[in-house]
Chain A
């Protein structure tokens, strides 16, 4: 396949960015989107041009490190991670526009690489269960109803890639937040800190500059792990119970 790519190039966080057009030839339809970028980078290196920087690591759809906006859609036309999007989803001669995640709290580091440190800071603010090592009771001491365990698991599937934020017109991280709050809130172990957790995480979310949720649902449509919108209602219900904002 031969493709025409328009890619966001930006030297560093403070430099201005611009779209640059590249032609890439010899793309296998069996390659992943990132392997297509690998090929482009080999061709650029051969010409003595600096390769395009992009993030990826596990390349099997679970680490959450990869992610770019492809033709206006987070992770591209299919509901999956960028590493699991394959070139057979495109046609020979296609023009493809590739941009980094766009959101104020995700500043561009270089080209397609952004800083998602805000997600870690939200977790550090309260996205955990406080359990010091070595003092845990036997794992069978607290039974967990299967329905709760399954719902907790479903929410825990979030890989923290940031597609929800990139897709949201408000730049809200509510789906990410809701997933963590639902995961821990469904479990008996998560109850003691349930109300302080939701309040602390929300405060951190807002102070990072993420926007509010207006229930547009773009986040869940872009989510490669299919985290449902109802985790956001769970978060909002918990926030009310926590008396947040009174």
Chain B
């Protein structure tokens, strides 16, 4: 480890190597080989093994269902009232699979290639190949469960193309693909609940992971959870713990995430020794409904498919921005994407579309209501499409999206151009995992959006649903058995010192929240943090801005711990207390995100470092310096975090600069 602080902020530790992917085998055989090498657990022994799975989205519900079917003794946890509410349910577009049902040249290798390239060469080759490989099985599994994918008249499954990809490989269920996939996984989970192999704990929140060292090194052996209805602090012990707890986009306060989406489970594990990979990798989605005022609690995504027919523009002159857009003549409009990127036009990738929208608004040419003095919106105009195709044809294609827009904004998009603005959507960072999806704490596995592994710096459309289900149905159940074959581990008693300590930590934290009795609400801190993060660690970052952000977050955190107001009691349902815990963790994560963003002095995917751009203002990667995963180790409350680098080695794909000009 380096002795002195780098940039005054962090230390550098030993590099890490992912050793679990089989060596000396062609990439197409690695997963087969790993499955074969992983030890088996006799069916009669499985019921003696206890598995805890936190989170019931696509990754968590599918894993719980699959491990329950296999005969393990599963406990499943979610903070919502039902596992069916997990935020995977809100995904709209679709799920990719290399089925080549259209005969248009798709293959496992092509899906693999597209995904690595779409991740701007910052994802791990071996994991992405496996993801592409199992993608076809996911569709089979979901169809068998009754997921109602769109079909053609012949009764076969329909596909569409998505996000700049040149083949049709996206399976979908109207704009509700996430809901239908989740309901499939949820029903499979409930089937196991009915069968008694899974015990479900809804309205429970994991607040600590129990890590025990019995002489052979640390192991995750359980969790401390709070029953959100009774307030009771519960201890749950197991042989292995799986976190499938989603992403942390809510650190920005305004995002497309659900209100309850949080980082607590992952952050608590990080503080206990699990490395956090690429925390600054956030995907910003270009087509969201803009913020309308300070009252707003979340942002709503509009499907990207709108960019197929809508034209994006802003007024050429700032003084036209408060005019009715219909009164601005053609020659006074700037169709900036068509102007700057004539080849791709309005269909440039998400990161480029997002950044240019921000540039237009920063120049003072944004439209719509001003929030904090700045108009943050650009027009997405269907007037040409309506003139060309007719209103009925546009309605048939996009009617539900237009209705949703009208409901939220009160404006009729058939008559007035829609307004859109980028918003935080998905986090590609998360707990670092190896090829087996195991974190740096043995016995703690991490799946889906909660881990960092497969999307690299820029998540492609229709790939997140694929990863959630790949991890839960196919990858984890095969890798976790290798770990479980060493169990059952020695029975742990609830008065083991490590368990008692974890219980005490949780209790002290709650007591502290209840006793501060300050003057500021939890939400006001969350909003202020979000603003810092969005302005200084969002789409565009600068060295100076990030340094300011780190100072501001530290000051805000200190104020939070002395002045936050949590009313009510810790017994029973207390939603303010729940939020206080989550915001406290966001206040720590936010600083690490800024440190990670600061140290990565390159522009990559959605993360634009102003200091690293080409002559014509495009993102400039530095593969010689930054082709690695940044895995951060918790340095302690008073110490700086420690950076471990995992070099990304591309043996099967050549690194290239992306270009959309």
Contact = CB atoms under 8 A, between A and B. Distances in A.
Interface stretch (A92-100, A136-144, A165-173, A237-245): A136-144
Contact of B141 (A12, A117, A133): A133
Contact of A63 (B85, B140, B200, B573): B85
Contacts of A7: none
Interface string B316-328: 0000000000000
B144 interface: yes
Contacts of A130: 191
B65 interface: yes
A35 to B, nearest CB: 5
B156 interface: yes
A64 B188 contact: no
Contact of A84 (B80, B87, B183, B408): B408
Interface in B68-112: 69, 80-85, 87, 89-90, 99, 101
B576 A45 contact: yes
A56 B193 CA distance: 25
Contacts of B292: 28, 30
A5 interface: no
B69 A133 contact: yes
A177 to B, nearest CB: 14
Interface in A130-171: 130-134, 136-140, 142-146, 149, 152-153, 156-157, 159-160
Given A45-B521, A62-B90, A129 B144 contact: yes
B160 interface: no
A119 interface: yes
B620 to A, nearest CB: 36
A57 interface: yes
Given A59-B258, A116-B81, A183-B148, A38 B573 contact: no
B408 to A, nearest CB: 7
A49 B146 contact: no
Interface stretch (A69-77, A107-115, A212-220, A228-236): A107-115
Highest count of chain B CB atoms <10 Å: which of A38, A56, A110, A123: A123
Contacts of A196: none
Contacts of B62: 133
A16 interface: no
B157 A64 contact: no
Contact of A86 (B85, B176, B410): B410
B84 A152 contact: no
A119 B292 CA distance: 36
B189 to A, nearest CB: 9
Given A65-B80, A124-B193, A143-B154, A189 B144 contact: yes
Given A34-B297, A56-B259, A84-B407, A127 B190 contact: yes
Interface of B: 62, 65-66, 69, 80-85, 87, 89-90, 99, 101, 137, 139-146, 148-157, 173-174, 176, 179-180, 183, 186-188, 190-191, 193-194, 200, 202, 229, 256, 258-260, 292-293, 295-298, 300-301, 404, 407-410, 473-474, 477, 521, 523-524, 565, 567-568, 572-573, 575-576
User: Which 9 pairs, one residue from A and one from B, show the smallest C-beta to C-beta distance?
Assistant: A143-B155, A128-B187, A136-B144, A124-B194, A131-B144, A136-B140, A153-B148, A139-B143, A124-B190
6 contacts: A30-B293, A53-B573, A59-B300, A120-B193, A134-B141, A146-B151
